[in-house]
Every structure is written in structure tokens, then in C-alpha cells.
């Protein structure tokens, strides 16, 4: 037995701190067989214990290794190799070896870039879809109710439209809903609301739960059923594709991921990364608009309306508003949209 | 191996981290964080903190960071869960309003817990730090006072900032030995006006160089609509202005404040500190770091971090007023990492400016 212990005996030089004390002094750690002893310079035993119960801090870089005995005595040594020889691999030894500067880091970089692309392309959508699946419908309904209340409080007036105008829009809306398949229709609480919103102009807004708000200004300017169908079908598209909540989840995902990655950068760089985050969420918003366009054209066509209705609306919008730049906006430019829409319509 | 314990001799801070070594750790952290969709970030944080703490020495003894990856991970998990819940509920307007009022109470609590967690998980020379601040104090220093400065057009900001620094520093301990900081408000105003002066100087330079096109923006907006290139260059100029005016101003402010805090703080009533960071040197380091990091697509980040840590250490000293062997630690109550997750993910920077 004695011989076996002898082979594992080792002496490490470093310094030792008594429990909870800042005063440390040069010391040795003697590992022999199952016993670990910390000796002062004069050879006195400061602390001792079984080798099974010493605690190791994970090694990092070339910073001193720290070994703590159960009584709180801390032994510190620069002798990384000595610790490994005496105790074998400890917690964190593996990651420490991986972290050593080595040409494989080029591979790390490439894998990292590839992984970011995969997360960006697929991961976020999967995460957002998973989050959508577990969102209770009550929450979504509450968001609709609450938002409508706020809209009424802040920017909307009761509708001034005539009964015929409303009946016509309701007719278009329910014809469109009838063209949806049963499951989709049942999954959302579709409702058409009428409001006067001079600030918003001729417009329609979809809330996540299925409430669609149509402005008086819209019905007055666009009595055409085809145009109404085009725009309402686009809004129904937002609801069915769950763009509102999806965007919320995506932007939480991106924000958290970036915060986790960029956590400790250097000043300025952090601010620039956060700015980039906003641009990324805008690009998703433009993608949503395009998806809702495709959905709307298809739905309007199936419901028996002229799919060019949405085009007429954007034609008007382009004449009225002029065109705006693209990467800074939430919506694609009208020209871009018209071109895409024309292709979609031609395909019908 | 003998420690430097002479009472009269200044003990400089010393940073021994090396770029190559840190690069290996950093890129491993990055890779594992990405492929685990962020989960490893908790362990990565511990590796990073340990590296910088263990390589920072005062009087031949280093700091250390003791939190475990699992603690940080659990804190972050709870925080992200709360964040998602909060984002959903705040879309319901009335509830959203109640939540915002709730935040007024929650934020000071999280801040205090974060500072406490980081203090308790940090040590120097085998003695853990501690923090005794309460949420009430944090509410005053971090929410109420800054809010009140709005009514003075932010001119009273230096008072609010001094209150924050007092709150943070005076509630810190090294073991049983308290830190103490006090200063009249003068140096805080020096920092404030130095930063403001920089912004004004840059504004004048920009106005002289690009005044024409900015004037066009107000007098003839139609011209810009017809000329997108001019609009883009104004936008670019706007970002350039932020980069050249506000970021350096913030750095200048930080440099003055850092010096003020170190130069007016004591530990255990007898040990003093000295910091002589030069604001313009720091601006140079911060700006050139940012440019190098951007143009190397982040690859030089480890170099930039080491450079900054080294500069800060080189300009900081401990002036011992007695033996450094007499600090005594105490067993600190366990602290949860939820507050730490909050300050990490929201990018809030509190704690001692080590």
C-alpha cells in the first residue's frame, strides 16, 4: 500500500490563506496517497484533509489554480501541471484545453458563423412558432380588447359611416371569411369594427386576436368592393399568419440572443449592436407585409373578388404619399409591392 | 512570494491578461453560446469574469469571481420567462399601465440584488466583498433623483449621480471592512461640463462643415425628397455626429467620475485609492477600439477588451494605510442571480468600478 501511495505523492509550491483571512503566506501542498496537507514555510501543518474532499476552481488561462480545503483554507499555485499530475483532471480541465489558442479556432469561427445563419434563418421562426403554440388564446383576446379600448381612448371617434356603407363592408368581410377553411376560421375570433380615425387616413388595422378596424375615411374613398376585399383580405392575412405576436416573440428572441452574445463587449460597440437589432426587426416587418399581400390576393380571388383590388389601393397610396426608402421602413415601398402583387395576380 | 504590506508604499493595480490567451477563451465562449442558442452564455460569463478578475492584481494578490454557470443560468431563465410574460401582458393597455407602476418597485429590488450578488461572488485576497444597500435607497438613487433632474433640464444631474455613487460605494464592504465615498459635488459638475463642452465643440465643427445641407433640410424639404443621396448623407452625418459627439462625451464623463470615486474613497477608514485616468486618452482608446472591432467584424474584440482593462489598471492604485493582511471575511448569505440576469440582459452597469 505504502508504495502505491508513494507514486501519487507530489509537492506543490504556492501560497495559502487561512479561512476568511486576507493574509496569505508562502506554503506547500503535500499530496501523499489519500491525504492532502498544506504546510507553512516552517513546515507546520496548516490544514489537512482527504484528497476526495478538496475543491478545485476550474483552471482558466495561466491564472493561478485555486484549491480549497473543507475548512476554508485556500491554497493557490501557479503550477497547473503539478495540480494535474497530483489530482488528475479536475472540473473544467476539458474546457480549459479546448480554450487553448490553436489553429482550430478558425474552425470555431466558421462553425459559429454557420450556426448564426441557421438560427437566423430557421431557429427564430421555430422558437416563435413554439411560443405561439403555447400562448393562451385568452391572452390574445385580452390584447385585442385592451388595444381597442386604447384606440378608442386615444385616436378613434365613433364611426360616422352610413348603415349601407357598414353593411357593404360587413358583407365583403364575411364573404372573405367564408372563403377561409373551417379550421382557420375557428382558430381566430374575427370581428370587423368601424371607427373614424382622421389621423390614420384611409386605413385598416388588424389586431392579433382577429379584430379588424376599418376607418370611415377608407369606406368613403374606396366604395369599390374589390378594393375593400383586397385590403381586408390582407389584414385577415396578418391575423391568420399571426404576424403581430410572431414579431413580438421574434424580437424578444433576437434581443435576448444579442444580449447574451454581446453582454460584455466594449463601449460603443454595444450601442451599435443594439441599433442593428432594430433594423433587423424592421426587415421582418417588411417580410410580414409581403406575406400578408400574397395571402390577401389569394383569399380575395378565392372569395370571388378581383385580386387586383389591393393593387388599386397601393396605386392610390403611391400617388398620394410618394415612394419611401426601404431598409429604414416597416413596410416595403409601394413600387416594390405593386410589382410583386402584379406577379401574384398573374399567377392566379 | 512575500506580500507587499508596507503602509506607505502605493500598490498599483496590475492587469496580467494576455490577448492570445483571452482570444481562445472568448471564441470558445462565443461558439458554445451560439450552438446552444444562448444557454452556454451563463457559463461563458463565469469564464470571462474569472479571467478578468483573476488576472487583476493589487499588491500581488488577485481578485476572483465565484458564481457558477448554473446559478447564472437559473437566474437568466427566470428573467427571460418574466420578460416574455411582461411583453405579452403589457400589450393589454390597462394591465400594461399597472405593470409599469410595478416596475418602479421591481427595478430597485433587482438592482440591489444584482449588486449584492456580484459583491458576494467577488473576492480579493481570499476575502469576499459584500453589499448592504436596500431597495429603498436604490429607488431614490436610481429612479427618483434622476427623474427629478428632468425638471432642472438635467442641470442637477451631477447631484443625482453623486447620490448613486454614494449609495453603491458606501454600501460595499470587503469582508467586514466598509468602503466609504464622499465628495462635494464640484468634481461631478466638472465631469458634466467637460462632457457637455465636447458635445458643443463637435456641434460647432459639424455645423461649420455640414451646415449647408442641414439648413436645406429645414428650408426646402422638397429638395431632399427629390435627391435621396443628399438625404442619405444627412442621415450618415447624423450617425457620424452621434459617434463623434456623444460616445466620447460619455467616455469623458466616465473618466472624470472614475477618478473622483477612487480618489475620494476609503476602505476601512484608512486605505485610500488613486485613479488618474486621462479623459482624452480614454476617448482615444474607446474610439479606436470601436473602429478596430467594427472593421475586423468583432475578431479584435478580445484585444480591445484587454487593452481597456490594462489601461484602467495602469492608472489605478491602492494607497495602503496599514497592513493588507488584516481583512476578515464573513459568511455571506446566499444570493440569487435573478437581479444579475436583469442587469446583464438590460445592459445596466452598476457596482464598483474595478
What value of ipTM does the predicted structure carry? 0.86
> What's the confidence (pLDDT) of residue B226?
61
Distance of residue A156 Cα from the nearest chain B Cα, in angstroms = 15
Per cent of chain A over pLDDT 90 is: 51
Q: Which residue of B has its CA nearest to A154?
A: B93
Q: How many domains does chain A have?
A: 3
Whether A159 shows a pLDDT value over 60: the answer reads yes
User: Which of A99, A121, A144 is the endpoint of a domain?
Assistant: A99
Place of cell 490594462: B310
pLDDT-derived band at A93 (thresholds 50, 70, 90) equals very high
Residues A111 and A178 grouped into a single domain: no
- pLDDT at residue number B187: 97
Q: Of A99, A115, A148, which closes a domain? A: A99
Please indicate, yes or no, whether residues A115 and A148 belong to a single structural domain of this protein. Answer: no
Residue A263 has pLDDT above 80, yes or no: no
Structure confidence at residue A116 (pLDDT)? 87
| Shared-domain flag, residues A198 and A341 | yes
pLDDT, residue B207, reads: 83
CA distance to partner chain B, nearest, from residue A102 (Å): 8
A164-201 pLDDT, tens digit each: 999 999 999 999 999 999 998 888 999 999 999 888 78
What tens digit of pLDDT does each residue of A210-232 get? 999 999 999 999 999 999 999 99
Average pLDDT, chain A: 86
Give A114's pLDDT tier (boundaries 50, 70, 90). very high
Beta-carbon contacts of B348 under 8 Å, excluding residues fewer than 6 positions away, are: B111, B114, B342
Q: Both A8 and A150 in a single domain?
A: no
Same domain, A284 and A189: yes
pTM for the structure as a whole: 0.83
Which CATH number goes with the domain that contains A20?
A: 2.30.29.30
pLDDT of residue A1: 36
- Looking at per-residue pLDDT, the higher value among A279 and A304 belongs to A304
pLDDT(B212) > 80 = no
Residues A86 and A114 in one domain: no
* A235 and A269 both lie in a single domain: yes
The three-class DSSP label of residue B316 is strand
Same domain, A95 and A118: no
**Pairing mode, if any, of strands A211-215 and A191-196?**
parallel
Cβ–Cβ contact B238 with A under 8 A: no
Q: Does B326 touch chain A (CB under 8 A)?
A: yes
The full 3-state SS of chain A, as one line of letters, equals CHHHHHHCCEEEEEEEECCCECCEEEEEEEEECCEEEEEECCCCEEEEEEHHHCEECCCCCCCCEEEECCCCCEEEECCHHHHHHHHCCCCCHHHHHHHCCCCHHHHHHHHHHHHHHHHHHHHHHHHHHHHHHCCCHHHHHHHHHHHHHHHHHHCCEECCCCHHHHHHHHHHHHHHHHCCCHHHHHHCCCEEEEEECCCCCCCEEECCCCEEEEEHHHHHHCCCHHHHHHHHHHHHHHHHCCHHHHHHHHHHHHHHHHHHHHCCCCCCHHHHHHHHHHHHHHHHHHHHHHHHHHHHHHHHHHCCCCCCHHHHHHHHHHHHHCCCCCCCCCCCCHHHHHHHHHHHHHHC
Q: What are the Cα distances from residue B178, in Å, to A7, B58, B170, B268, B270?
A: 48, 18, 7, 5, 10
Residue-wise pLDDT tens digits, B1-38: 445 444 568 999 999 999 999 999 999 999 999 899 88
Q: How close A100 gets to chain B, by Cα (Å)? A: 6
B152-163 confidence digits (pLDDT tens) = 999 999 999 999
For residue A154, list chain B residues with Cβ-Cβ distance below 8 A: none
Q: Please report the pLDDT score of residue B215 as a whole number.
A: 62
Q: What is the pLDDT of residues A299-316, one digit of tens each?
A: 999 999 998 888 888 888
Taking residues A312-321, report their average pLDDT: 79
Band (B209; pLDDT cuts 50, 70, 90): confident
Say if the Cβ atoms of A108 and B27 lie within 8 Å: yes
Burial of A200 (0-12, 13-18, 19+ CB in 10 A): middle
Element (H, E) at B131: strand B127-131
In this predicted structure, what is the pLDDT of residue A110? 94
Q: Which helix or strand (DSSP H or E) is residue B177 part of? A: strand B177-181
pLDDT score recorded for residue A284 = 78
Least confident of A32-41, A96-105, A281-290, B310-319: A281-290
Same domain for A171 and A207: yes
Q: Which residues contact A211 (CB under 8 A, 6 or more apart)?
A: A144, A147, A148, A189, A190, A191, A193
Select from A134, A149, A177 the last residue of a domain. A134
* Bridge partners, B177 (sequence order): B174
Q: How confident is the model at residue A2 (pLDDT cuts 50, 70, 90)?
A: very low
The arithmetic mean of pLDDT across residues A32-54, rounded, is 93
Hey, is the C-beta of B45 within 8 angstroms of any chain A C-beta? yes
Percent of chain B with pLDDT over 70: 90
Q: What pLDDT is stored for residue B197 in this prediction?
A: 96
Note whether A62 and A204 are same-domain residues. Answer: no
Q: How confident is the model at residue A6 (pLDDT cuts 50, 70, 90)?
A: very low
Find the domain containing A280 and state its range: 135-347
- In the predicted structure, residue B128 carries a pLDDT above the cut 80: yes
CA–CA dist B123, A238 (Å, integer): 54
| Closest chain A C-alpha to B16 CA, distance in angstroms | 9
By mean pLDDT, which of A101-110, A180-189, A266-275, B237-246 is the weakest? A266-275
Question: Between B222 and A324, where is the model more confident?
Answer: B222
Q: Which three cell numbers stand for residue B300?
A: 479584435
Residue A66: its chain B contacts at CB < 8 A?
64
Neighbours of B39 (CB within 10 A): 16
Nearest Cα residue in chain A from B301: A265
Contact A252 B87 (CB under 8 A): yes
**B127: pLDDT confidence band, cut at 50, 70 and 90?**
very high
A214 shares its domain with A79: no
Statement to judge: residues A110 and A247 lie in one domain: no
DSSP secondary structure of B219-280:
H-HHHHHH-HHHHHHHHHHHHHHIIIIIHHHHHHHHHHHHHHHHHTEEETTTEEEEE---HH
In this predicted model, what pLDDT tens digit does every residue of A334-344 receive, in sequence order?
Answer: 777 778 888 88
Look at residue B1 in the predicted model and tell me its pLDDT.
41
- Identify the top-confidence range among A112-121, A143-152, B65-74, B91-100: B65-74
Angle, alpha carbons B39-B44-B46 (nearest 5°):
120
Amino acid at each position: 500500500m505504502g508504495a502505491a501511495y508513494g507514486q501519487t505523492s507530489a509537492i506543490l509550491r504556492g501560497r495559502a490563506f487561512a479561512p476568511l483571512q486576507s493574509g496569505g503566506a508562502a506554503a506547500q501542498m503535500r499530496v501523499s496517497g489519500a491525504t492532502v496537507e498544506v504546510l507553512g514555510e516552517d513546515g507546520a501543518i496548516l490544514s489537512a484533509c482527504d484528497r476526495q474532499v478538496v475543491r478545485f476552481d476550474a483552471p482558466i488561462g495561466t491564472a493561478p489554480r485555486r484549491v480549497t480545503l473543507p475548512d476554508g483554507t485556500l491554497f493557490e499555485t501557479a503550477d497547473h501541471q503539478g495540480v494535474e499530475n497530483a489530482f488528475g483532471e479536475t472540473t473544467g480541465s476539458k474546457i480549459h484545453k479546448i480554450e487553448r489558442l490553436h489553429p482550430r479556432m478558425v474552425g470555431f469561427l466558421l462553425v459559429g458563423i454557420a450556426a448564426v445563419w441557421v438560427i437566423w434563418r430557421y431557429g427564430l421562426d421555430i422558437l416563435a412558432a413554439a411560443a405561439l403554440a403555447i400562448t393562451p388564446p385568452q391572452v390574445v383576446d385580452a390584447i385585442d380588447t385592451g388595444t381597442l379600448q386604447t384606440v378608442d381612448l386615444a385616436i378613434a371617434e365613433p364611426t360616422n359611416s352610413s348603415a349601407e356603407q357598414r353593411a357593404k363592408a360587413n358583407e365583403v368581410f364575411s364573404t372573405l371569411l367564408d372563403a377561409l377553411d373551417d379550421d382557420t376560421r375557428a382558430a381566430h375570433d374575427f370581428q370587423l369594427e368601424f371607427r373614424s380615425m382622421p389621423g390614420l387616413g384611409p386605413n385598416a388595422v388588424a389586431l392579433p386576436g382577429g379584430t379588424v378596424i376599418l376607418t370611415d375615411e377608407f369606406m368613403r374613398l374606396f366604395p369599390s368592393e374589390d378594393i375593400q376585399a383586397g385590403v381586408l383580405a390582407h389584414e385577415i392575412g396578418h391575423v391568420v399568419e399571426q404576424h403581430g405576436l410572431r414579431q413580438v416573440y421574434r424580437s424578444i428572441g433576437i434581443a435576448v440572443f444579442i444580449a447574451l452574445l454581446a453582454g460584455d463587449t466594449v463601449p460603443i460597440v454595444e450601442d451599435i449592436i443594439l441599433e442593428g437589432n432594430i433594423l433587423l426587426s424592421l426587415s421582418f416587418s417588411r417580410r410580414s407585409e409581403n406575406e400578408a399581400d400574397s395571402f390577401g390576393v389569394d383569399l380575395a380571388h378565392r372569395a370571388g373578388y378581383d385580386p387586383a383590388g389591393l393593387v388599386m389601393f397601393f396605386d392610390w397610396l403611391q400617388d398620394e404619399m410618394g415612394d419611401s426608402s426601404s431598409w429604414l421602413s416597416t413596410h416595403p415601398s409601394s413600387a416594390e409591392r405593386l410589382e410583386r402583387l402584379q406577379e401574384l395576380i398573374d399567377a392566379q | 512570494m512575500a506580500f507587499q504590506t508596507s503602509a506607505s508604499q502605493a500598490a498599483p493595480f496590475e492587469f496580467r491578461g494576455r490577448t492570445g490567451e483571452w482570444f481562445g477563451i472568448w471564441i470558445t465562449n462565443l461558439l458554445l453560446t451560439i450552438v446552444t442558442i444562448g444557454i452556454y452564455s451563463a457559463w461563458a460569463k463565469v469564464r470571462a469574469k474569472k479571467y478578468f478578475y483573476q488576472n487583476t492584481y493589487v499588491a500581488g494578490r488577485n481578485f476572483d469571481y465565484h458564481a457558477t454557470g448554473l446559478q447564472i443560468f437559473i437566474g437568466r431563465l427566470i428573467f427571460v420567462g418574466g420578460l416574455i410574460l411582461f411583453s405579452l401582458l403589457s400589450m393589454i393597455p390597462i394591465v400594461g399601465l399597472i405593470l409599469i407602476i410595478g416596475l418602479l418597485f421591481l427595478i430597485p429590488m433587482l438592482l440591489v440584488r444584482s449588486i449584492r450578488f456580484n459583491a458576494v461572488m467577488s473576492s480579493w485576497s481570499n476575502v469576499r466583498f459584500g453589499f448592504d444597500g436596500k431597495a429603498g435607497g436604490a429607488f431614490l438613487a436610481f429612479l427618483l433623483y434622476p427623474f427629478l433632474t428632468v425638471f432642472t433640464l438635467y442641470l442637477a444631474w451631477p447631484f443625482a449621480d453623486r447620490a448613486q455613487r454614494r449609495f453603491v460605494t458606501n454600501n460595499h464592504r470587503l469582508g467586514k471592512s466598509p468602503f466609504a465615498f464622499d465628495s462635494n459635488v464640484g468634481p461631478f459638475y466638472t465631469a458634466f461640463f467637460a462632457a457637455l463642452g465636447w458635445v458643443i465643440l463637435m456641434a460647432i465643427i459639424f455645423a461649420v462643415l455640414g451646415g449647408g445641407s442641414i439648413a436645406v433640410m429645414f428650408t426646402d424639404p422638397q429638395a431632399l425628397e427629390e435627391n435621396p443621396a443628399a438625404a442619405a448623407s444627412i442621415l450618415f452625418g447624423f450617425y457620424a455626429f452621434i459617434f463623434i459627439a456623444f460616445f466620447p462625451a460619455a467616455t469623458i464623463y466616465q473618466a472624470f467620475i472614475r477618478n473622483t470615486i477612487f480618489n475620494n474613497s476609503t476602505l476601512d477608514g484608512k486605505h485610500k485609492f488613486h485613479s488618474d485616468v486621462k479623459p482624452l486618452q480614454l476617448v482615444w482608446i474607446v474610439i479606436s477600439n470601436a473602429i478596430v472591432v467594427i472593421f475586423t467584424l468583432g475578431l479584435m474584440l478580445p484585444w480591445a477588451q484587454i487593452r481597456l482593462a490594462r489601461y484602467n489598471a495602469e492608472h489605478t492604485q491602492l494607497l495602503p494605510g496599514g497592513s493588507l493582511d488584516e481583512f476578515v471575511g464573513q459568511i455571506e448569505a446566499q444570493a440569487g442571480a435573478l437581479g444579475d440576469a436583469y442587469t446583464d440582459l438590460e445592459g445596466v452597469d452598476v457596482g464598483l468600478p474595478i
